[in-house]
């Protein structure tokens, strides 16, 4: 009887855990955000020159970011859209190196991340991306070129933003974007035996309103680069290929090296970015 009771309780706990996981995943696209409020480090700890920036978002929230000026005369400005986890203190290392090659870099936190006010939810974060673009345009000289560089979910959200707001942009780079919110949800759930059986019903509860694949053909008529890695353990190369094939105009696709969170840190991959950025900056 005791063994039966224990098995019964374990089954109950198992079911509760599964239901909790599914509810967390299927609530809406907002569950894709995993913000961290506390900064892990700051640029001054590494003697890096920067400006601490606060700017108003479209909804009135105070948003926070870091502006890294070019080491020499700037060729262009790069706005970086980081991925869904942590905050700018852990993502800035992915792009700060660009200042050594005459690029100003602005990295900011979406609402709910780091020192930015509010709570992360996709509609508001899309507004924050546009607010950051407008801030960069407002402080950059009129003839200075602006490029958008997005990584992971930042790249996927960047596709939607740029398709809806094609103005004031000279080129765009999407590193490991996913193409479809439901598809990536299924792939995430498929990775665990605990959630495998729920991948299809759970994914059907995810909104498709912001699916990058539905907007990529409407990107502005400017050069665009899609980067993928066969070693990416989070975003499969098929996502990037699908976006590339549906994009129009001047477009490029490059294969990089390394895992999902190391792609922008590897010298070989950095050279890929520089090759295109330098060409577009001429």
Establish if 40 belongs to a structural domain. no
**Could you write out the DSSP letters of every residue in 202-243?**
HHTTS--TT-GGGTGGGS-SS-EEEEEETT-SSS-HHHHHHH
Q: Look at residues 56, 51, 26, 28 and name the one whose alpha carbon lies nearest to residue 120.
A: 28
Distance from C-alpha of 57 to C-alpha of 127, rounded to nearest angstrom = 7
pTM over 0.85: yes
Distance from C-alpha of 153 to C-alpha of 158, rounded to nearest angstrom = 8
Establish if 104 belongs to a structural domain. yes
Show the domain range for 100: 2-32+45-281
Q: Order the strands of the 171-175 sheet from edge to edge.
A: 51-56, 62-68, 103-108, 76-81, 145-151, 171-175, 224-229, 251-256
Distance from C-alpha of 151 to C-alpha of 149, rounded to nearest angstrom = 7
Establish if 80 belongs to a structural domain. yes
Distance from C-alpha of 185 to C-alpha of 201, rounded to nearest angstrom = 10
Per DSSP bridges, beta strands 62-68 and 51-56 are antiparallel
Neighbours of 229 (CB within 10 A): 22
Distance from C-alpha of 161 to C-alpha of 226, rounded to nearest angstrom = 16
Distance from C-alpha of 126 to C-alpha of 134, rounded to nearest angstrom = 13
CATH at residue 267 = 3.40.50.1820
Beta strands in the chain (DSSP E): 34-35, 51-56, 62-68, 76-81, 85-86, 103-108, 145-151, 171-175, 224-229, 251-256
The pLDDT score that the predictor gives to residue 19 is 40
Q: What is the pLDDT along the chain (282 residues), one digit of tens a residue?
A: 455 444 445 444 444 344 444 444 444 556 689 999 999 999 999 899 999 999 999 989 999 999 999 998 999 999 999 999 999 999 999 999 999 999 999 999 999 999 999 999 999 999 999 999 999 999 987 789 999 999 999 999 999 999 999 999 999 999 999 999 987 876 766 455 445 455 545 544 566 789 999 999 999 999 999 999 999 999 999 999 999 999 999 999 999 999 999 999 999 999 999 999 999 999
Establish if 177 belongs to a structural domain. yes
Establish if 272 belongs to a structural domain. yes
The pLDDT score that the predictor gives to residue 29 is 55
Establish if 195 belongs to a structural domain. yes
Establish if 110 belongs to a structural domain. yes
Establish if 39 belongs to a structural domain. no
Distance from C-alpha of 67 to C-alpha of 70, rounded to nearest angstrom = 10
Q: Look at residues 35, 48, 49 and name the one whose alpha carbon lies nearest to residue 116.
A: 35
The total number of structural domains in the chain stands at 1
Q: Look at residues 63, 154, 66, 65 and name the one whose alpha carbon lies nearest to residue 116.
A: 63
Contact residues for 234 (Cβ-Cβ < 8 A; gap 6+): 152, 176, 260
Both tokens of 145, joined, read 């070129």
């Amino acid at each position: 009887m005791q063994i039966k009771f224990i098995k019964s309780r374990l089954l109950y706990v198992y079911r509760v855990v599964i239901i909790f996981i599914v509810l967390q995943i299927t609530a809406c696209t907002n569950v894709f955000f995993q913000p961290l409020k506390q900064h892990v480090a700051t640029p001054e700890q590494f003697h890096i020159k920067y400006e601490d920036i606060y700017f108003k978002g479209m909804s009135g929230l105070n948003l926070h970011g870091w502006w890294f000026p070019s080491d020499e005369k700037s060729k262009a400005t790069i706005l970086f859209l980081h991925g869904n986890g942590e905050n700018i203190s852990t993502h800035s290392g992915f792009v700060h190196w660009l200042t050594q090659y005459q690029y100003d870099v602005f990295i900011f936190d979406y609402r709910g991340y780091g020192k930015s006010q509010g709570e992360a939810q996709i509609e508001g974060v899309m507004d924050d991306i546009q607010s950051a673009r407008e801030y960069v345009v407002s402080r950059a000289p009129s003839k200075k070129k602006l490029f958008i560089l997005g990584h992971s979910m930042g790249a996927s959200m960047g596709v939607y933003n740029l398709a809806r707001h094609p103005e004031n942009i000279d080129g765009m780079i999407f590193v490991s974007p996913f193409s479809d919110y439901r598809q990536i949800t299924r792939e995430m759930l498929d990775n665990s035996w605990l959630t495998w059986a729920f991948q299809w019903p759970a994914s059907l509860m995810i909104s498709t309103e912001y699916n990058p694949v539905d907007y990529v053909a409407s990107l502005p008529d400017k050069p665009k680069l899609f980067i993928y890695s066969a070693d990416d353990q989070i975003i499969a190369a098929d996502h990037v290929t699908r976006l590339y094939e549906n994009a129009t105009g001047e477009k490029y696709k490059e294969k990089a090296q390394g895992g999902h969170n190391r792609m922008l840190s590897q010298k070989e991959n950095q050279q890929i970015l520089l090759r295109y950025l330098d060409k577009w900056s001429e």
